[in-house]
Amino acid sequence: MNLHGAAATRFFARPDPGTAGALIYGADAMRVALKRQELIANLAGPEAEAEIRLTRMTGADAKADPAAVTDAVKAVGFFPGPRVVFVDGVTELQAAPILAALGDWAEGDAALVVTAGSLKKTSKLRKGFEGHAKAVAVALYDDPMGQEEIEAAIAAEGLRLTSEARRDVEALAAALDPGDFRQTLTKIALYAGAEEATPEAVAAMAPATVDAETDEVIAAAAEGRAQAIGPLMQRLGGQGVAAVQLVIFATRHFQQLHAAAVGGGVGNLRPPVFGPRRDAMDRQVRGWGAAKLEQALALLMETDLTLRSSSRAPQMAVMERALIRLAMMARS
């Protein structure tokens, strides 16, 4: 089944417990990550990670051990409750073990949640999930959030808004990435407390320079400027930026570099990149090359898994170490 628009929003919020699998794909890594996070939480519950009812792996893991996905889907958990097998960053080259596991799915097995980048209509992954009676495929595009998504995000924070503040929040939704928008709503809710939020509260919590500094620390890693990373991370931490948000943005940036490296240059990227950022990305692509960019993406995937695991390591320190390692790779 292929879902989009309001139907997709309702599925992420209230998925059918008998869902066999879901393929979430799109060019915007942040949108994909947020939706799969919401879906997994609503399929398996907030304690799935702690109760070992969530199994994580990458597309590369699935390709290296083709039986691993099916084994994970069929495994019997120690704790009672619904189980999810999450496979991140799958490409067409890694589709076979995913589709084999989906084809073998039976009632009582774990739900299979798979994420991918942009996929063509001829994609085997898309056809496999769209054609399965108990699975769905959802494409996420870089469109502004719809009214139903905005209302769901406001309700999730328990936020009450004056009519003027609601107009301001809707304007923010059109201007911000979904991750930034949700983080901003959380700050507005904390700022307003039990009171109805006013336009002043929205203005006070709206992001100002966070995006620029996020881009700057990722650019420092991509350009080998390791000495700049520490001070930038301190500022971002003080502004409340989450390490998970940083790893998603960094992954998206390096995915763009890799797409340019294998696709003939920055000028061939869609959507296009303009101005000084295009010149900077062009230099980064030439400096890295496709092979090293694949190593960088593997490092970021490992970091993302660490940040979302039950590890007690300080998350911003884990992210800073990853960015410094990327800077060292850029220099080598």
307, 289, 309, 311: which is closest to 299 by C-alpha?
307
Position 310 scores a pLDDT of: 76
Beta strands 54-58 and 84-90, pairing class: parallel
Alpha-carbon radius of gyration of the chain:
20
The torsion angles phi and psi of 91, rounded to 5 degrees, stand at -115, 175
Position 62 scores a pLDDT of: 93
Position 125 scores a pLDDT of: 95
The torsion angles phi and psi of 14, rounded to 5 degrees, stand at -140, 70
pLDDT, tens digit (0-9, with 9 covering 90-100), for 27-51: 888 889 889 999 999 999 888 888 8
- In the chain the domains, ranked by start, together with CATH numbers, are 2-139 (3.40.50.300), 147-205 (no CATH), 210-331 (1.20.272.10)
Q: What is the mean pLDDT of residues 64-93?
A: 92
Is residue 240 predicted with pLDDT exceeding 80?
no
By mean pLDDT, which of 27-41, 111-125, 283-297 is the weakest? 27-41
Distance CA 228, CA 224 (A): 9
Residue with tokens 């884990």: 318
| pLDDT grade for 207, boundaries at 50, 70 and 90 | low
Angle at the Cα of 306 from the Cα atoms of 173 and 214, rounded to 5 degrees: 40
| pLDDT grade for 208, boundaries at 50, 70 and 90 | low
For 100-256, strand residue ranges (E) read 111-116, 135-139
